[in-house]
């Protein structure tokens, strides 16, 4: 396995990880910003108010984007298995 192959595999794996995690992280960040603005305007500083909406948003994102995420990961794994003989030489 050459250095170029390792770099290619690492780059592809990182791009899949970023692609799969983006909806969950984006929705969590969006809900966090909205809750922070709400807390700043109402001056409510309850600690649980920041975590509960984020947890609900992340669970909803997993339910909504879960099948797509599984498809992306499965496609990457299948592509990796199909290209495995090329990497060994």
When pLDDT is averaged across residues 60-84 and rounded to a whole number, the result is: 94
Confidence category of residue 89, pLDDT binned at 50, 70, 90: low
Contact yes or no for 76/16 (Cβ under 8 A):
yes
Buried b (16+ CB within 10 A) or exposed e, 10-22: eeeeeebeeebee
- % of residues, the chain, pLDDT over 70: 99
pLDDT at 42 over 80: yes
Banded model confidence at residue 2, pLDDT cuts 50, 70, 90: confident
């Amino acid at each position: 396995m050459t250095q170029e192959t390792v770099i290619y595999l690492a780059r592809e794996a990182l791009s899949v990880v970023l692609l799969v995690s983006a909806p969950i992280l984006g929705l969590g960040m969006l809900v966090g910003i909205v809750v922070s603005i709400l807390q700043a305007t109402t001056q409510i500083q309850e600690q649980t108010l920041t975590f509960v909406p984020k947890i609900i948003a992340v669970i909803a994102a997993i339910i909504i984007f879960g099948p797509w995420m599984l498809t992306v990961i499965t496609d990457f794994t299948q592509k990796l298995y199909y290209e495995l003989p090329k990497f060994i030489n």
